[in-house]
Structure 1
Amino acid sequence: MQNLTTKLLMAAALVAVAGCSKKPPAQLPPAPPTESTPAPETTQPEGPVASTVVPGSKEDFLQQVGSDRVFFGTDKYDLDSEARAILDRQADWLAKYPNVRVTVEGHCDERGTREYNLALGDRRANSAKNYLATKIDASRISTVSYGKERPAVEGSDESAWAQNRRAVSVVITGM
């Protein structure tokens, strides 16, 4: 009798578990586009074309300044002449739009400990901020360090590392 009871309980458990199984969705989502899929062609209107870039926007910043980032040497946070020239253009643009704020992000390459890179990223962000603060109101500039957590380029060679040792100015519109 106990054997029959055990078998009935096992059968009931199997039926209960089978009833809880997931049902497949009625319609599957579309597959992600492949790189071989051609982009849809767009036609340009004839005649003078109005710019779609809004003055004072992030897009305007990139278009007018040319770069939102400055680069650093290995284990360095000092600004070279090229970095200062880029920051001068950023400051000139920011001076034209006093309602725009900027966050300077400090980044590092993948080498070194997390703690070391967070500290170095902070020094890089503050180096750029301090330079900008000589040209515009410092209260419009904030900093954040991402260390090695947000690489711009994946890779473990000097080319990738050089692009990841950076400070990036991120425009924040509307104070």
Structure 2
Amino acid sequence: MFKSNFATAMILSAIALMGLGLHGCNFTSSNFAPSSQTTSSTPSLGDRYAFKQGGFSLQIPKGWQPKAIADLKYEAIVDPKAIAGFSNSINFIDEAFSGSLADYESANFQLAEKAFKNFKTIARTEFKTDAGASGIQIATESEQLGNRLRQVFFIVDAPQGTKLIVTYTCLAKDGDRFAPLFVASLKSLQFN
């Protein structure tokens, strides 16, 4: 039986992000895909950031910065412009799994449903990055550490039999204006 570190990573991410006072966004089916219109209050994409240890890169929101988080392999990308002590963020995990994206999703989201209070899937769709990598995009909602969170998971087939999971973890209130930015950032993902 496959034993995943996915649920553990979700918990560590939430603990680390709450400890940093990070917050995020509200994704619904209607705003799940990128929009051609953004408002001036929505940040744009900035520089490409390379995760050398993982062999991948993506464009991060303009002005956002990498931040090392204890017990996580990759840096989180955080918005330094905190509002009331919170900032939006992006985090990353990878895991060896040579099966299909659907098999990985099934194995892990069954665990997540049991691990988190009031866990529910809000939307699910398949996608391709601009470079052609296939993935599954899943928006969820759950209660963690006393907060109602939205987490959007992008599960991507990565090289050498691994899956890369890019997660946007947010409080469930400001997300409509950030959803197009997050999807655009993920679509810029490239493996070296």
Q: Is the TM-score greater than 0.5?
A: no
Structure number with greater CO (CA < 8 Å, separation at least 6) is 2
Higher strand residue share:
2
Which of the pair has more CA radius of gyration? Answer: 1
With the length of structure 2 as denominator, give the TM-score of the two structures: 0.29
Structure 1 or 2: larger helix share?
Answer: 1
